[in-house]
Amino acid sequence: MNPQLNTLLTTLYVFLTDQVLPDLGVSRGRRPGRKPVLTDAELLCLVVAQQLLGFSSESRWVRYARAHLRGMFPGIPGQSGFNKRLRSAGPLIVTAITALARDTPSWYEVLRLVDSTPLPCGTSRETVKRSDLAGHAGYGYCASHSRFFWGFRLYLISTPEGMPVIWGLANPKIGEREVTQALLTHDHHLIRAGQVILGDEGFAGRDFERFITEDLGAHLIRPDRKDEKPRFGKLGGIRQWIESVFDTLKGQLTLEQHAGRTLAGVYARVAARLLALAAAIWHNWRTSTPRKRSLIAFDH
């Protein structure tokens, strides 16, 4: 493990232990059975290391970690134990992401980006018929690749450099505005009055814009449609920011190779990749790295 990744994990462990996990002690309560050898902070650090090092296979990751990282994490469980801990850690990972976002200078910026991207969960009809995700996932169309897929859509609201603020998974058949409104309603405390939310043309709609303006006290900006009066222009350059965030998640953090087969598994594995992205951006801010979303220093 290189020194940069080692420093990130050490700093993250201290942050989680001192500022995040103590506030969750009462709400999480004590688990039944013996006290786990691997602590929650160590689990989250292992999850971040796995994603930044590019291990999409958990079996390969557990073998690698038990062979090379015993000095830092002496209580690494086997593959079955690691999978169980990961599946149950979804809410904990979400809390850690929010804490990292709040501790980043870009949290106080006005602009927020919103968009969605396909999250395939199966490539054959037999998988669709036998999957535990049946009833939750669905068929959708990926316009950028001109193909249909079966799975979910990942919705992400982030800061300009890609720090996740609000996110969620939804059936592709549900409209973008409906899903985004539900996410913003649930996590309205993460949006401040006066903030600017920038989306694509798919977020055009009077009711949705009224919700953003009147209910949240924010402002919606999107590219102009051909059939309406000019207001904001095409916004092509800024729109590429959120696309590049998804490119990082899919390219360097292997989002589409999540291998989740249950709802909790998919949720936790997507959350793990967002946590790795959040931790890297958070650390890059602390070390004054010019490119805040750069993962190159940690991937070897």
Q: What does the alpha-carbon distance between residue 32 and residue 96 come to, in Å, rounded to a whole number?
A: 23
Q: Of all helices (H) and strands (E), which one includes residue 179?
A: helix 176-186
pLDDT for residue 234:
81
Q: What does the alpha-carbon distance between residue 244 and residue 248 come to, in Å, rounded to a whole number?
A: 6
DSSP classification of residue 174? S
Strand, helix or coil at 156?
strand
Question: Exposed, middle or buried: residue 131 (CB in 10 Å: 0-12, 13-18, 19+)?
Answer: middle
Buried b / exposed e over 139-173, threshold 16 CB at 10 Å, is ebeeeeeeeebbbbbbbbbbbbbbbbbbbbbbebe
Q: What does the alpha-carbon distance between residue 137 and residue 284 come to, in Å, rounded to a whole number?
A: 35
pTM here? 0.93
* Domain boundaries defined on the chain: 109-255
Rounded mean pLDDT for each run of 10 residues along the chain, 300 residues in total = 90 94 61 75 96 94 93 91 92 95 96 95 80 89 85 96 96 95 96 94 91 96 84 80 93 92 93 97 96 90
pLDDT for residue 145:
75
CATH of domain 109-255: 3.30.420.10
Contact 195, 110 (CB under 8 A): yes
Strand-pairing partners, residue 285, are: none
Residues 6+ apart with CB under 8 A from 183: 155, 157, 166, 167, 168
Rounded (10°) CA dihedral 208, 210, 215, 216: 70
